Amino acid sequence: MAKHLSPESLALTKEGVNQSIVLQDIQGQSRTPLKTDQANGSILFFVTHDCPISNAYSPELTRLRNEFSSKGFQLTLVYVDPDVTADGIKQHMKDYSLEGYTAISDKKHVLVKEAGATITPEVAVIANNGTISYRGRIDNMYPALGQRRRIITERDLRNVLNSIVDNKSIPITRTKAVGCYIPNL
C-alpha cells in the first residue's frame, strides 16, 4: 500500500506552478518544462547521475517514456546536481539508455523549488492548467533506504498516468519518494 501522508502534506500547489519558467536543455534548446502543448500534461523526473536508487529506475524510465510519450505526455529528466556538466549528463543518459528523453540541468534548483521535489528519484506530474496532479515515488521498488523489493506491488505513477489517460479521478496525489536527498543550494 502506498504510504499516504497527512492532509497537510497532501496539499499540492493549488494555485499552480509558474508555467513561464524557461530553461535550456542539455542541447541548448529553450524549454518550458512546466508548460506543455501535450494533451495530458508534463512529467518531470528528478534524478542525479550518482544516486544508485535513481539509476536503478533507468529501465522503468525507459518503459514509461516508450508507453506514455505516445499518450499525450511530455517527459523530462531534471538533473539536480549543480556540479554535473552537460557532457556528464549525456554520458549518463547513454550509459543508462535514457537518450530518448529531454534532459535539463537544474543547477539553480528552479524546477526543484517550483515542484517541491526533495528526493531523487522523484516525479511531478503537471496538468495543463499548471497544477501538480501528483508528486512522489515512481513505484514501491524501494520501500525504505537499503531495502529493494524483488517484486513491485504498487505502481503509483503508472496508476496516476493511466487515470489521466482514461479521464478518471487520480487515485493518489502524493506519495513519499525514497532515494537520495536533493541538497539545498
Q: How far apart are CA 182 and CA 28, in angstroms?
A: 24
Q: Is 41 exposed, middle or buried (0-12, 13-18, 19+ CB in 10 A)?
A: buried
24 pLDDT higher than 80: yes
81 pLDDT higher than 90: yes
Residues with Cβ within 8 Å of residue 70, at least 6 apart in sequence: none
Q: How far apart are CA 64 and CA 73, in angstroms?
A: 10
Query: Collapsing DSSP states into helix, strand and coil, what is residue 150?
Result: coil
Query: Span 114-128, mean pLDDT?
Result: 93
**Which pLDDT score, from 0 to 100, does residue 38 have?**
67
Looking at the domain assignment, is residue 57 inside a domain?
Answer: yes
pLDDT for 66-77, tens place per residue? Answer: 999 999 899 999
Q: How far apart are CA 85 and CA 90, in angstroms?
A: 9
The answer to whether 2 touches 172, Cβ cutoff 8 Å, is yes
User: Residue 63 is part of which domain span?
Assistant: 17-181
Looking at the domain assignment, is residue 177 inside a domain?
Answer: yes
Task: Specify the CATH number for the domain of residue 165.
Answer: 3.40.30.10
- Looking at the 3D structure of the chain, how many domains does it have? 1
pLDDT for 133-176, tens place per residue? Answer: 999 999 999 988 889 989 999 999 999 999 999 999 998 899 99
pLDDT category at 12 given cuts 50, 70, 90 is: very low
Helix pair angle (58-68, 156-165), 10° resolution: 0
pTM confidence score: 0.88
Give the chain's mean pLDDT.
87
80 pLDDT higher than 60: yes
